[in-house]
Amino acid sequence: MSSTPVNVTVTGAAGQIGYALLFRIASGQLLGADTPVRLRLLEIPQAVRAAEGTAMELEDSAFPALAGVDVFDDAKRAFEGTNVALLVGARPRTKGMERGDLLSANGGIFRPQGEAINSGAADDIRVLVVGNPANTNALIAQTHAPDVPAERFTAMTRLDHNRAIAQLAKKLGVPSSEIKKITIWGNHSATQYPDIFHAQVGGRSGAEAVGDEKWIAEEFIPRVAKRGAEIIEVRGASSAASAASAAIDHVYSWVNGTPEGDWTSAALPSDGSYGVPEGLISSFPVTSAGGRFEIVQGLELDAFSREKIDASVRELAEEREAVRALGLI
Ligand code: NAD
Ligand code: LMR
């Protein structure tokens, strides 16, 4: 076991994703079993007591890799010296709330968190935003952390990526381990584009292996893109353990690299690749090596894929305009 613990801050620690996430981090699945972790939990004052209860349960688990747990209700303190920040806490949309109200409420969370990361986090800080609307919340935080390299701010589309793998594996009757190079493009919303034309299954493209474009367009894509809503309808609450699992996968891939011959999906600030306007936090196919995500280059996009990517990117540009108009970035 290496000696210096990695500081991991989790916001929304008393929420349902937090509860599923913290035990997996503490058991060594975020960074590797040999890397000790010190957890820093951030909650709003009303939920601090619940977070303290979770901290007690973490202590009771006697995880060998857990070096300690601290609970905060102050962002500045929670992000001090942080190496990995998982921004899970967000303001959910409630009945009668307009989109602008939702963006404003989240601006009130992600702006101060971005500022706190800028002033106090460790030099190697990596940020994953899970709280919705994840891409635009990440943009707000990133804008308010001008001293942190922009590419250290990412938003989560790994859950969509995993959902796409699962749906394709089920359709083809193969284990999920046989599906490679799935891509989620665009926003973590119903406009996202899960792409199986570049995916590989046993030497063929995912689309070839399926051999049914109608299924792809009319079943696969909407099922993956609307899976979050389907879970809410069936479970009565939004996905939690699968979201936590995807957050673990995202950070693990970022820190430890992606396997040879495969890639994953992550939303990160666009460098203009594939015509996505620079700075938008959009999902791309990415590999990771040496602790850095790189956008996979040179994929050919046919008219179908192009149109789907453009639609999701348009939505991201509209969200950016909306938060700009609200003075949040
Ligand atoms: P939840 O309501 O159970 O928990 C959210 C927690 O965040 C609450 O405990 C709340 O007190 C806390 N919180 C609110 N504002 C905070 C702040 N300023 N600082 C710290 N904590 C704060 O919600 P959940 O089910 O855990 O989901 C959390 C978020 O993740 C939601 O926005 C949800 O939509 C989103 N989500 C994203 C994905 C994805 O794939 N990107 C998937 C599932 C859920
Ligand atoms: C999901 O994809 O499961 C969530 O983003 C859904 C939601 O709105 O919380």
- Model pLDDT for residues 67-79, shown as the tens digit of each residue: 999 999 999 999 9
Q: Which domains does the chain have, with CATH numbers?
A: 6-155 (3.40.50.720), 158-319 (3.90.110.10)
The residue contributing the CA closest to ligand 2 atom 2 is: 228
| Residue 147, pLDDT above cutoff 80 | yes
* Full-model pTM: 0.98
For residues 245-257, average pLDDT:
98
Asked whether 228 lines ligand 2 (CB < 6 A), one says yes
| Residue 2, pLDDT above cutoff 70 | no
The residue contributing the CA closest to ligand 1 atom 23 is: 15
- Enumerate residues 6+ apart whose C-beta is below 8 A from 244: 17, 20, 21, 24
Which ligand ends up closest to the CA of 159?
1
Query: What atom of ligand 2 comes closest to residue 134's alpha carbon?
Result: 5
Q: How confident is the model at residue 96 (pLDDT cuts 50, 70, 90)?
A: confident
Answer whether 90's CB lies under 8 Å from 12's CB: yes
The residue contributing the CA closest to ligand 2 atom 8 is: 228
Q: How confident is the model at residue 112 (pLDDT cuts 50, 70, 90)?
A: very high
Asked whether 206 lines ligand 1 (CB < 6 A), one says no
Which ligand ends up closest to the CA of 228?
2
Asked whether 244 lines ligand 1 (CB < 6 A), one says no
Is residue 275 part of an annotated ligand binding site? no
Beta bridge partners of 285: 265
For residues 301-317, average pLDDT:
98
Active site residues: 188
Is residue 240 part of an annotated ligand binding site? no
Average pLDDT value for the chain: 96
Asked whether 276 lines ligand 2 (CB < 6 A), one says no
| Residue 63, pLDDT above cutoff 80 | yes
Best mutation site among 238, 242, 283 for ligand 2, i.e. most ligand atoms within 8 A of its Cβ?
238
163: enclosing H helix or E strand = helix 158-172
Q: pLDDT digits over 75-93, tens only?
A: 999 999 999 999 999 987 7
Is residue 48 part of an annotated ligand binding site? no
> 3-state DSSP call for residue 132?
coil
Euclidean distance between CA atoms 139 and 322, whole angstroms: 12
Euclidean distance between CA atoms 280 and 277, whole angstroms: 6
